[in-house]
Amino acid sequence: MQVLPPIGRILAFLRKSQKRSDTYDPRMPDVDGQVDIAELFARVRATLSCDPPRELECFQPGVAIVSPDRSVSVLRLPASTRIPQRVLDNNRIGIPYTNPLNITAVSFTGVCAPKLADVIRNRMVFLAGILPFAHNGHRIVVFEGHESGFEAALKDADVLIIDSAMLPLLQSNWFDVARGIFRYRGRIRIFDRKTMDLSPAVPSKSGVGWTYAAEPDGERSYISCMMEILANRPPMPVQLWCDEPLPDLRRMAITPEEIEWTTELPFDYGALSVEEAMRQISEVIAGMNWPPAPEGEARAFWFNLIEEGGGTRKVYMKLLVFVDGLRGRSLKMERLLPTT
């Protein structure tokens, strides 16, 4: 049985390696256009969902590979593979989630489905970069992104990840097509081959229709953006409930500048954890106990808002965290006007 190095060493090797393989150079291949891609992807994801529970030692996380001829194989890591917790945590920040996601990924993987040894030997950086996401329980299917199946491949997807090397090879309106299917539910990420970073793509008024998000994804980034909006609007209470999605910041914006800024934020509000957002606001920012006592707790606090030009301004807030008998935990926050 082949013994493979830890995933951290594999990724480090791929970052440092400059060797290229003509076999796996990114390109748009000819494909079998007669296959029903939507049905194929649904069937493959159902297969991935049938994996044994991750607590079993035999569990082998896998990524499904759809080849240009539409044959399918699953690239699996050995059950003994241990992925560093920091890698898994970074993945959770890169793509926040509360439940396992359906991920459609776009990259050229060769003319036939690869084996794990091929990924290492041929410097298939993209596949190695997304393999750790399978450890988080996500159902990942990779294909080349051909126009004939692009829309259908997104029908049941929550996230689209695109290998940066494939961007010039996709149909010119790929972002509009993806957004039209996802609406505000799905998320689009670009995997940078050079840095191995996963960056959110958001709508833009530029000619290509998209740009990289100015803010990162995740609960911490959401909180920062929400606090900035609250600091710049008339005092108005905002309430978070654990049984509802986080408030949509686009509906909180007032000025034209704020409205445009919020449309370029990467958040899928239903995918962010309300519980984690409330914990960070109360415990990390306000220094309160979490979880709250049944009788609740109130506190006033302030934070420094960084303004344009580099200056700072103190913003005062009042906060109430409590437990509702029917709806569970809640947090209510409102800006305070400074007293003279």
In angstroms, how far apart are the furthest CA atoms of the chain? 75
Position 263 scores a pLDDT of 85
Which whole-number Å values give the CA distances from 93 to 88, 247, 272, in the listed order? Answer: 9, 19, 10
Residue 5 has pLDDT above 70, yes or no: no
Residue 10 has pLDDT above 60, yes or no: no
92 secondary structure, DSSP code: H
Centre a 10 Å sphere on the Cβ of residue 316 and count the other Cβ atoms it contains: 16
Q: Quickly list DSSP for 65-76.
A: EE-TT--EEEEE
Listed residue (99, 42, 107) closest to 75, CA to CA: 107
Position 113 scores a pLDDT of 55
Give the 3-state secondary structure of residue 146. Answer: coil
Q: Indicate the pLDDT class of residue 4, thresholds 50, 70 and 90.
A: very low
Position 1 scores a pLDDT of 28
Q: Indicate the pLDDT class of residue 164, thresholds 50, 70 and 90.
A: very high
Find the mean pLDDT for residues 120-128. 63
| Percent of the residues in the chain that have a pLDDT greater than 70, as a whole number | 82
Domain residue ranges in the chain: 7-212, 219-336
Position 152 scores a pLDDT of 92
- 317 near 300, Cβ under 8 Å? yes
Domain with residues 219-336, CATH architecture: 2-Layer Sandwich (3.30)
Position 225 scores a pLDDT of 93
Find the mean pLDDT for residues 167-187. 87
Which tops the pLDDT comparison, 334 or 51? 334
- 339 near 316, Cβ under 8 Å? no
Position 59 scores a pLDDT of 52
Position 89 scores a pLDDT of 73
| CA–CA gap between residue 143 and residue 64 (Å, rounded) | 9
Residue 150 token pair: 């692009």
Task: Tell me which residue has tokens 């993987």.
Answer: 109
Position 339 scores a pLDDT of 63
| CA–CA gap between residue 272 and residue 198 (Å, rounded) | 17
Q: Is the peptide bond before 216 cis (omega within 30 degrees of 0)?
A: no
- What does pTM read for this prediction? 0.77
| CA–CA gap between residue 124 and residue 110 (Å, rounded) | 10
Residue 60 token pair: 């082998």
Residue 182 has pLDDT above 80, yes or no: yes
Of 1-5, 64-68, 194-198, 216-220, the one with minimum mean pLDDT is 1-5
Find the mean pLDDT for residues 222-233. 92
Phi, psi of 109, deg, nearest 5? -115, 15
Position 16 scores a pLDDT of 47
pLDDT (tens digit per residue) in 260-291: 889 888 888 888 899 999 999 999 899 898 88
Which tops the pLDDT comparison, 327 or 194? 327
pLDDT (tens digit per residue) in 40-88: 988 888 888 654 444 444 456 788 888 888 888 887 766 666 777 777 7
| CA–CA gap between residue 248 and residue 226 (Å, rounded) | 9
The amino acid sitting at 297 is E
Which tops the pLDDT comparison, 159 or 24? 159
Find the mean pLDDT for residues 319-326. 91
Q: Quickly list DSSP for 308-340.
A: TTS-EEEEEEEEEEEEETTTEEEEEEEEEPPP-
